[in-house]
Amino acid sequence: MSGKVMCGMTISEKILAHAAGLDYVKPGDIIDARVDVAMANDITGPLAIKMFKRIGLKKVWNNKRIVLILDHQVPADSTKSAELHKIMREFAREQDIEFLYDVGDGGICHQVMVERGHVKPGDLIIGADSHTCTYGALGAFATGVGSTEIAAVFATGRIWLRVPQTIRINVTGKFQEFVGPKDLILYIIGKIGADGAIYKAIEFAGPAIRGMSVSGRLTLCNMVVEMGAKNGIIEPDEKTIEYVRERTSEPFKIFRSDEDASYEKIMNFDVGSLEPMVACPHSVDNVKPVKDVEGVEIDQAFLGSCTNGRLEDLEVAARILKGKRVRRGVRMIVTPASTQVYLEALKRGLIEIFIEAGACISNPTCGACFGGHMGLLAPGEVCISSSNRNFVGRMGSPEAMIYLASPATVAASAVEGKITDPRRFLEDSR
């Protein structure tokens, strides 16, 4: 299409064009793209392996570009789980796949992918998990697919994709203390709606994004799927480059949106007046300020998940919990996102703070978040969670209720025994 380009391209469009070996793509184009990395976990991987074997091929397309991670039900909580884990291990041996992260050697897949250097700017990454969109925080185009589709990727290293339209979200202002990226993404989802960005690319930009840590950016991109988006993405800057270069020596290509790129729409948000937010049962877009639901009594507080189980999240919760106790009658579960995060939290004394406060510390796992392993809720129970979904039955009983909030709000609520604005703890935490 040389000489016929009507406008520039967004970062998402540029990455997809590069992956397809094209000079130009536009929203709606169907492309045959080369995949840089494929990922599957212990829930999606075994079915993908079964489908791969049904195809009849002997070898995967590239055993150095496939990452297998055991994270959802680890250690195995049943014979069935153990069988699924065995399938993953045997496949890794058969295919000589180096990057198998087993029990005790990894953690939650999306954290492991970024901290172990499997994600680079400009990559096209396909994962058999809906929150694969997390990796867009590092300037990659990353999206989730089903087990059958990832089996085809294992076989060919390629995938058909439709180029999405892009919604650009510009964010300005400075966060108040104990207000952060989780509050922002909940607020945005509340405005856009759970089905308001179906198959769109969400591009975050603006001074508030540039001022945000990599951890905070991962939180933002992690939850774009909760409004139906295909991917979330942030243009790489020096923070991104430093983070990636500390973790891999592989080369990468930086893409940035053109000034004349075309967007479906542009939305502007100022975080200066943003307050702690909460997504109320039973939808992620049922978002309200915490002050509107303060006083709702809780039975469980969960801190962790691929959304908010990183060191920065544990640190802010520890600021609130230090020298205090979880309210009697409330159980608090803390799940570091990876073994690396767990070890660093141990070194910094955060784990001691949590244990002294009466929290239960679990190994890195998705178990509590998706209601498959630990911390399940009984009928009628209420949980405040730093995770990403509050659908009916998500964390156990379909008669339980889940409120989604930031790590600060989760910690404050655990102490009070009811949903609480964390800013009430500002003086105590200094």
pLDDT tens digits for 245-286?
999 999 999 999 999 999 999 999 999 999 999 999 999 999
DSSP strand pairing (166-172 vs 265-270): parallel
In the predicted structure, residue 5 carries a pLDDT above the cut 70 = no
- The pLDDT of 163-177, averaged and rounded, is 97
Asked if 393 contacts 374 with a C-beta cutoff of 8 angstroms, the reply is no
Confidence of residue 427 (pLDDT cuts 50, 70, 90): confident
Sheet strands (E) in 166-309? 166-172, 201-205, 231-234, 265-270, 277-279, 287-289, 300-303
Query: Check: CATH 3.30.499.10 for 9-274?
Result: yes
Q: Does domain 279-429 have CATH number 3.30.499.10?
A: yes
> Which two structure tokens, joined as six digits, stand for 265?
């729409």
Domains 9-274 and 279-429 share a fold: yes
- For 28-81, give the DSSP string: T-EEEEE-SEEEEETTTHHHHHHHHHHHT-SS-S-TTSEEEE--SS-S--SHHH
**Measured CA distances, 372 to 160, 298, 300 (Å):** 32, 21, 16
* 130-161 residue pLDDT tens: 999 999 999 999 999 999 999 999 999 999 99
| N-term to C-term CA, the chain | 59
Phi–psi pair at 201, nearest 5 degrees: -95, 130
94-137 residue pLDDT tens: 999 999 999 999 999 999 999 999 999 999 999 999 999 999 99
The residue to which tokens 């020298």 are assigned: 323
pLDDT digits (tens, 9 = 90+) for 204-222: 999 999 999 999 999 999 9
Distances (CA, A) of 409 to 100, 180, 197, 332, 334: 35, 11, 27, 13, 14
* Averaged pLDDT of the chain: 95
Sorted by where each begins, the domain ranges of the chain are: 9-274, 279-429
Is the pLDDT at 3 greater than 70, yes or no? Answer: no
Q: Specify the pLDDT at position 430.
A: 66
By the 8 A CB rule, do 186 and 277 touch? yes
Read off the pLDDT of residues 313-369 as tens digits, 9 standing for 90 and up.
999 999 999 999 999 999 999 999 999 999 999 999 999 999 999 999 999 998 888
Of 9, 64, 11, which is closest to residue 248 (Cα–Cα)? 64
pLDDT for position 143:
98
Taken in order 341, 344, 346, 348, the sign of the CA dihedral is negative
